[in-house]
Chain A
């Protein structure tokens, strides 16, 4: 609870009451629009647009997101990124249904590449930690991260060479 004077609290209550009136009006407009029998796409755009606006009012004014700590914003951004992935995965499935996205070979290489990036990130973090606090446990994590990165890079090179040799074998043209 931040230190707030009674005047600040009253201001916040008055603001909440104004938001409440706006939310009521928008709810009635949304409900009324369903009686107009507009096409589905137009109904989606209108009602979801109004809902997004209403939701932002609740989040900003009732949940105080308009003046929150940066840590809370970071948390929410991470959660929304996860939601974006949850929404994009089925969307990608729908858009790409029946189309070739990438071969299994390419997907495999992409996956190894992502793993290498992840292990290099761990290596960078371990080195930074070791430099600020040169302890044995941090040195161990540097060695482990460097080892994993080297193994993954060697595996990626070997896999790329093998895939090049395989060429056009039908088994490996399967799509993902």
Chain B
């Protein structure tokens, strides 16, 4: 059975189905992180001795991580633009760089966690540490998921380019929407946890 509207928009929604699907998923993600931010606010306002993240965490490492994720968003845009101009080789280059930047982010985060542990900061240490590890851990899992999808599109998934280039370009666009969302969440997490 042919799945309808994978390439062309539906008349009633104005978008192709995968795009509507990813936005539905992102809407559920907004609620997931909304609940977590709500928990953060609740914990922070209930604790009179809430520590300043900038005194406990490595601000400059987190700044570099932020720049890495923003850069990966740009390479994601470039990979989509490469397909729009019919260059699969440039797509491979930019999608590959996006995956590498994502891995660099995770490696840096792992090093940061190692540093936190060596200073005796564990999830059970205090409420700040608990919410810090929860928020950054869940975000890290999202980065990992995005890397897996991008790696698939860079590797075996890219075979679709030969048979159905429009549908493959849409897949990359949809993966890009998810990746930008992960970037957006980090942009909010960065000041919330590290700078205030």
Contact = CB atoms under 8 A, between A and B. Distances in A.
B184 to A, nearest CB: 5
Interface residues of B, number: 60
A91 B41 contact: yes
A94 interface: yes
B14 A69 contact: yes
Contact of B31 (A40, A72, A82): A82
Given A13-B78, A58-B187, A71-B13, A28 B63 contact: yes
Contacts of A76: 23, 27, 30
A8 to B, nearest CB: 9
Interface string B185-196: 001101110111
Interface string B19-61: 1100110111011001101110110011000001010000110
Main secondary structure of the interface of A (DSSP, over half): helix
A89 interface: yes
B148 interface: no
A163 interface: no
The interface size bin for chain A is 35 or more
Contacts of A17: 74
Interface stretch (A30-38, A112-120, A136-144): A30-38
Interface in A69-99: 69-72, 75-76, 78-80, 82-83, 86-87, 89-91, 93-94
B59 A31 contact: yes
Interface string B49-92: 00010100001101100110011011011100100110000000
Interface of A: 1, 4, 6, 9-10, 12-13, 16-17, 20, 23-24, 27-28, 30-31, 33-35, 40, 43-44, 47-48, 50-51, 54-55, 58-59, 62-63, 69-72, 75-76, 78-80, 82-83, 86-87, 89-91, 93-94
